[in-house]
């Protein structure tokens, strides 16, 4: 990812895909929450609805 990246974020799913963490480009956790998948994550990719539990 190029540019200054001040607002760049990455989303990492937990190993069991039950939740996620959102990181900024410094690796600081911005938010976390539980993930509710629609369909099969192996075939549907990252299509999920996630509620933010905290920041």
Residue 25 lies in a domain: yes
Per-residue pLDDT of 1-55, as tens digits, reads 444 445 556 777 777 767 777 777 777 877 777 765 555 555 555 444 445 554 4
Residue 42 lies in a domain: yes
| Alpha-carbon distance values, 28 to 4, 34, 38, 41, 55 (Å) | 16, 18, 28, 26, 10
Residue 3 lies in a domain: no
Output the pTM of the full model.
0.42
In which domain, by residue range, is 48 found?
Answer: 9-54
Tokens representing residue 49 in the block: 């609805």
Residue 1 lies in a domain: no
Residue 4 lies in a domain: no
Q: What are phi and psi of 11, to 5 degrees?
A: -115, 125
Query: How many separate domains does the chain show?
Result: 1
Residue 45 lies in a domain: yes
Please spell the DSSP secondary structure of the chain, one letter per residue.
--S--TT-EEEEE-TTSSEEEEEETTS-EEEEEEEEESS-HHHHTT-EEEEEEE-
């Amino acid at each position: 990812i190029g540019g200054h990246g001040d607002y760049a974020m990455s989303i990492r799913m937990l190993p069991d895909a039950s939740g996620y963490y959102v990181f900024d480009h410094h690796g600081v956790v911005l938010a976390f929450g539980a993930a509710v998948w629609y369909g099969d994550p192996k075939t549907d990719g990252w299509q999920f609805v996630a509620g933010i539990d905290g920041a």
